[in-house]
Amino acid sequence: MTDQGLRAMAATRNAKFGHFVVEFATPGIGHIVKAAGCDFALFDLEHSGFHFETVKSALRYFEAADLAAIVRVPSSEYHHIARAMDMGAEGLMVPMVGSGKQARAIVDAVKYHPEGRRGVALQVAHDHYRPGMVTEKFEAANKRSTVFCQIETAEGVENAEAIAATEGVDCLWVGHFDLSVSLGIPGQFDHKDFRKAIDKTIKATRKQGKALGRLVQTVEQGIELYAEGFDFICYSGDAWVLRAALAEAVTRLRDATAGKA
């Protein structure tokens, strides 16, 4: 387990392991994920139903546990990105990134002057409500903020190198299900077209020296993908881990007690 910030993690090819939080924004969630040995949490706004008020609280839970957190916003709209950053997101993930131009707009929304065009909000959650020199605040925020662009369309794959080459983008993140749908082969992850898209994305990140991430459902898959070139490995999600562990235990209990009443 590493205690580095996300940007420092993204600068190495070492494996980083995390967990997808899509259901349980409880006060203990940061400590639970950290105690499990994770390096980061991926907190979802795209499919979870969480609102920004929840983000503001959840980020304090992750901070209390000293656990790096990536917030996946619902879209690349400026107000989604800037609000998540103002609430203290260290990592910012955007879905459906299709071009270098879009990636540049995302970086502009994340970063303060002179690296971007983010609207100024100081002495709020992201800088711990503390006063200070404006230039120092900008520098600290820009140094900390980490940008993850999701590659989950055929367009994104085609422009993967341009996206990875965008200054300020730290990591490409494959959205495997949406990518397979965009390619016209839903769920066919062994299809030659899907494999070709993954290979092209891997090559883009290697050429540009950027990190590469993906959600995985099994340990074996995570090991395999790391060998291929993925270094941010997000293992499963909170609801799925609970369901799987509970189902296994209850099934074993039923099998062991069947017919013994």
Percent of the chain with pLDDT over 70: 98
Lookup result for tokens 């209850």: 250
Rounded distance between C-alpha atoms, residue 191 and residue 185, angstroms:
8
Question: What is the model's pLDDT at position 219?
Answer: 97
Q: Is 47 in the active site?
A: yes
Confidence of residue 76 (pLDDT cuts 50, 70, 90): very high
CATH of region 6-257, choose from 3.20.20.60, 3.60.20.40, 3.40.50.2000, 3.40.50.300: 3.20.20.60
DSSP lists the bridge partners of residue 44 as 72
- The token pair that represents 247 in the structure block: 């189902």
What's the mean pLDDT in 163-179?
98
Separation between Cα atoms, residue 146 and residue 108, nearest integer Å: 12
Cβ within 8 Å of residue 67, ≥6 positions away: 30, 33, 34, 38, 40, 41
Euclidean distance between the first and the last CA atom of the chain, given in angstroms as a whole number: 46
Task: Dump pLDDT digits (tens) for 176-189.
Answer: 999 999 999 999 99
Q: Residue 154's CB: how many other CB atoms inside 10 A?
A: 16
Among the listed residues 47, 79, 113, 128, the single catalytic one is 47
Closest by CA to 33, choosing from 45, 49, 48, 22, is 22
Query: Average pLDDT in the 71-92 region?
Result: 97
